[in-house]
Amino acid sequence: MAEQAGDPLFHSHDPIFNRKELLHVGHVPDEDRIVGRDDEIESVAAEVGAITRGDPPNNVMIYGKTGTGKSLISRHVATRAQNAARGNDIDCGVLYVDCSEANTETRTTRQLALSLKDQTGYQEGIPVRGVGTMEYYQHIWQILEECFDAIIVILDEIDKLDNSNILMQLSRAREAQKTDAYIGVIGISNKVKYRETLDERIDSSFGHRELFFHPYDASQLREIMRNREDAFQPDVLEGGTIELCAALAAKKHGDARKAIEILKEAGELARRTGSETVSESHIQQAQEVAEINRIEELTSGATVHAKLALYALASRIITGDRETHKTREIYERYVSICDLVATDPITENGLYRQLKEQAFLGVIESEKTGGGRSQGSYLLHRLVTDPKHIIKAVRRDSSLEDLPTYDRLGDSASATAERDAELSSFS
Ligand SMILES: Nc1ncnc2c1ncn2[C@@H]1O[C@H](COP(=O)(O)OP(=O)(O)OP(=O)(O)O)[C@@H](O)[C@H]1O
Ligand SMILES: [Mg+2]
């Protein structure tokens, strides 16, 4: 890769990175760096592709877990369709709305109207506030009428929209003689459950296909990262690093975004520690940091008690010899820990509800077990991640930073174990 133009002060002396921007979170890779999604690209193209021939497209909903390429592939196919249409003298626009930000019909239609205005020479002013959805629709229909034969509308994170009326409006626009332009909608969601709510809320007018994007496997992740190897200086990535990063990410989540983040973090770690190369051990450490961040993110909305419950479970696993623990056992440890941070404990039943919520977030797994004839059944909880990561993530909460660190847990364990025993003797 040729040296980038620009101020040498900022470009020339990074010993680790060559084109670090290739690893940035918001970076949208070029077409030739998209790999491992050929089938999905073809499937999306098959749904919207009729537009390029001047025919009506299908609407499509794309489902899949985070980091599986849904947004990327949708934009990629839409842009290619636009270019192909242009080749056939068809004016096709592409509109993209992130519904996690534009989460009401008014916000979404406003954004659609404004970006249509941006893309055309539309003269009329579009007010940004003080007007309702209907006025934005009117601008949309008018611009479509004046400037486009067809349009592809990508509604990303569509489950965040407070209602799905827009799907109806867009799919009925021709029928209702609002515009002659063909409209193809690509809806994207990482909540498969959204399907159920969608079916209830919209009628057959949004007749649509459904596509499912699966998590990436190790070989696809390897390809994705290899295609960005030039983010690093030549020979900086040691042999086996990309393979390891791909294997770890595939095992945990199959999320391309996270895999790339780990690779970048490993590079930063190497640079910070003055290493000339990025090694497997950098990848391991970066993966840990990423996992702690992920847990912190997952639990960011949780109460202090939920965090203490997670800490209690993690601490029992570390200081004990079992992976799974009963609600009662976690509760006992939790009560001792509340003492350490001068917090009043909630009831056991309250804690049980907190644990259930954590199970929902995917931090723990709970399983019902028969305790033998006389004992009835009870729940056993386990962590889905390394307890060390939980300890670190919980301690990042500034009100909980006084809790013992992972390596000091052994010292305090004997004290808390005594306390647990004391509590048990009361029950
Ligand atoms: N097939 C691929 N080839 C190259 N890079 C990819 C591929 N898939 C994903 N990526 C990288 O991972 C990032 C995340 O992908 P994308 O934003 O499309 O995921 P998503 O499925 O929309 O996730 P979310 O549900 O979190 O929005 C992209 O910006 C891109 O950098
Ligand atoms: Mg996305």
Please state the rounded mean pLDDT for residues 85-94. 96
Protein residues within 5 Å, CB atom, of ion ligand 2: 71
The answer on pLDDT for 195 being more than 80 is: no
Output DSSP code: residue 203.
-
Nearest CA to ligand 1 atom 8: 69
Is residue 415 a part of any domain in this protein?
yes
- What is the domain range of residue 168? 33-213
Is residue 244 a part of any domain in this protein?
yes
Atom of ligand 1 at shortest range from CA of 72 = 18
Whether residues 293 and 319 share a domain: the answer is no
Is residue 12 a part of any domain in this protein?
no
C-alpha of residue 257 to centroid of ligand 1, in Å: 6
The answer on pLDDT for 1 being more than 50 is: no
Whether residues 276 and 368 share a domain: the answer is no
Burial of 60 (0-12, 13-18, 19+ CB in 10 A): buried
Q: Which pLDDT does position 13 carry in this prediction?
A: 75
- Is the Cα dihedral 162, 164, 167, 168 positive or negative? negative
| Nearest listed ligand to the Cα of residue 65 | 1
Q: How many CA atoms lie within 13 A of 316 on its CB side?
A: 27
The whole-angstrom separation of Cα 144 and Cα 151 is 8
**Residue of 27, 44, 72, 186 with the most ligand 1 atoms within 8 Å of its CB, for mutation:** 72
**Ligand 1 pocket residues where CB is under 6 Å:** 27-29, 33-37, 64, 66-72, 190, 224, 256-257, 260
Please write the tens of the pLDDT for every residue from 386-401: 899 999 999 999 899 9
Please write the tens of the pLDDT for every residue from 270-304: 999 999 999 999 999 999 988 898 888 888 888 89
Q: How confident is the model at residue 160 (pLDDT cuts 50, 70, 90)?
A: very high
Is residue 17 a part of any domain in this protein?
no
Whether residues 362 and 289 share a domain: the answer is no
Whether residues 134 and 223 share a domain: the answer is no
The whole-angstrom separation of Cα 252 and Cα 386 is 12
Is residue 388 a part of any domain in this protein?
yes
Nearest CA to ligand 1 atom 18: 69
Domain boundary among 213, 241, 258: 213
The whole-angstrom separation of Cα 334 and Cα 304 is 11
- State the DSSP H helix or E strand holding residue 152, giving kind and residue range, or none if neither: strand 150-156
Q: How many domains does the chain have?
A: 3
Whether residues 262 and 389 share a domain: the answer is no
Please check whether residue 48 is in contact with residue 81, taking contact to mean a CB–CB distance below 8 angstroms. Answer: yes
Among candidate residues 111, 116, 140, 141, the one with its CA nearest the CA of residue 128 = 111
Whether residues 233 and 207 share a domain: the answer is no
Is residue 24 a part of any domain in this protein?
no
Q: How confident is the model at residue 176 (pLDDT cuts 50, 70, 90)?
A: confident
Nearest CA to ligand 1 atom 27: 66
244: CB partners within 8 A, 6+ apart: 280, 283, 284
